Amino acid sequence: MNGRPISGASVGARPRRGSGRARAGLTAVLTAALFAVTACGGSGGDDDKDKNGSGRAKANEPSRAVVTIAPKDGSESVATSGALKITAADGKLTEVEVADTKGNEIPGEIAGDGASWKPDHHLAASTKYKVHATAKDSAGRASAKDTTFTTLTPQNTFIGHFTPEDGSKVGVGMPFSVNFDRGITSPEAVEDAIEVTAEPKVEIRHKWYGNDRLDFRPEKYWKAGTKVTVKLNLDGVEGRPDVYGAQAKTVSFTVGRSQVSTVDAKSKKMTIDRDGKRLKTIPITSGAPGTTTYNGQMVITEKHKVTRMNGETVGFGGEYDIKDVPHAMRLSTSGTFIHGNYWAASSTFGRDNVSHGCVGLRDQRGGGDSKTPAAWFYDQSMIGDVVIVKNSKDKKIQWWNGLNAWNLAWDEWEK
């Protein structure tokens, strides 16, 4: 029995002593490890806190980008061009919106370096605009600014009277022409405010006559079926000092079939070609010696079933005053017409040139006979058709005398 307790004690004591040493060693290791973990953990925790806190702080900092808009918020009587300027410092512009109170936007472009924005064209007069601009700094933080301003109300304005009219159907020779009621001294500003496009697409150039007329045309006659659209964005354009445009509208016209008639003053005949095919040949009479008919390409700009022709209006004194000229179609501003002639003998046409510069076709007084050459040609013609005169002993008509743009070389028209 004694052996069992001793044995038991002996067996039990060793484990306790061994367990104590193990606990002591484990405690020391755990303490050291805890100290080490605490030291590393404490250091790491502080760093993470600083790092995370700093990141949040930077994210919450305001953007360094500064947006500047001129004119100042609430400004009135602002100039329609040159006054609107939007810039960014310590950052780059990312978005700019400028629109009037109706939602009509002013297009513009942000510079490549993001430092500025400028509008593509002038502003309208007497209009309130809203501006919203956003810029971002190098850290991607955004800064925005919103302003409003109102443009000036002009005391003096100008408008442009144009031809052809909106919705017209015209011949292939019709240019688009604008006559301004005030002389323009800033032609480039006006040019930039008028856009003429065509479908199918074709290059269109312009030319000024004096300072109050601006014409547009393609290199060659329009193709039949072409649709031409003109945007007159003249509202707010300063055409001359303190004189502003008052129009903002879109005009469109369609080109009909192609009809080109050629008058040969020598053979005294006129051929009519439609869509490239000969339609008819008609005997004519043109200008007599001393009052010859202009050569060149002319465009029909007016049609009158009956009209009065008085020589005094074109510098001929009292040589003639015919109150009922039938089937008259104007070819020049200076008084050239192609018209019916009932007072000359029928044998005159195709044989003699007896007019004061016009092209005459046989007709009946009053123009009531639809079978006469003049009546037939009148019915077959439309505004914008081309009438070419050749072999006359006269000079070529000036391009500005009527709507006769085709008499000026293409390279003399500005892009």
Q: What tokens does 200 get?
A: 């199918």
pLDDT digits (tens, 9 = 90+) for 374-384: 999 999 999 99
pLDDT digits (tens, 9 = 90+) for 105-117: 999 999 999 999 9
Q: Which domains does the chain have, with CATH numbers?
A: 66-151 (2.60.40.3780), 156-255 (2.60.40.3710), 259-409 (2.40.440.10)
pLDDT digits (tens, 9 = 90+) for 255-289: 999 999 999 999 999 999 999 999 999 999 999 99
Instruction: List, in order, residues 6 or more apart from 404 with CB less than 8 Å away.
Output: 296, 297, 298, 299, 331, 332, 397, 398
Closest by Cα among 336, 339, 344 to 325: 339
pLDDT digits (tens, 9 = 90+) for 10-63: 333 344 334 333 344 434 433 344 334 333 333 444 444 444 555 555 667 999
pLDDT digits (tens, 9 = 90+) for 320-353: 688 999 999 999 999 999 999 999 999 999 999 9
Q: Which long-range contacts (CB under 8 A, 24 or more apart) does 114-118 make?
A: 114/88, 115/87, 115/88, 115/89, 116/85, 116/86, 116/87, 116/88, 117/86, 117/87, 117/93, 118/84, 118/85, 118/86
Closest by Cα among 117, 135, 119 to 127: 119
Specify the pLDDT at position 66: 97
Is the distance from CB of 226 to CB of 192 less than 8 angstroms?
no
- Residue 285 is given by DSSP the state B
Specify the pLDDT at position 204: 98
Q: How far apart are CA 281 and CA 373, in angstroms?
A: 10
3-state secondary structure of 306: strand
Whether the pLDDT of residue 395 is over 50: the answer is yes
Q: Which residues pair with 251 in a beta bridge?
A: 230
Catalytic residues: 339, 358
Q: What is the chain's mean pLDDT, rounded?
A: 88
Closest by Cα among 86, 89, 96, 84 to 134: 96
Whether the pLDDT of residue 235 is over 50: the answer is yes
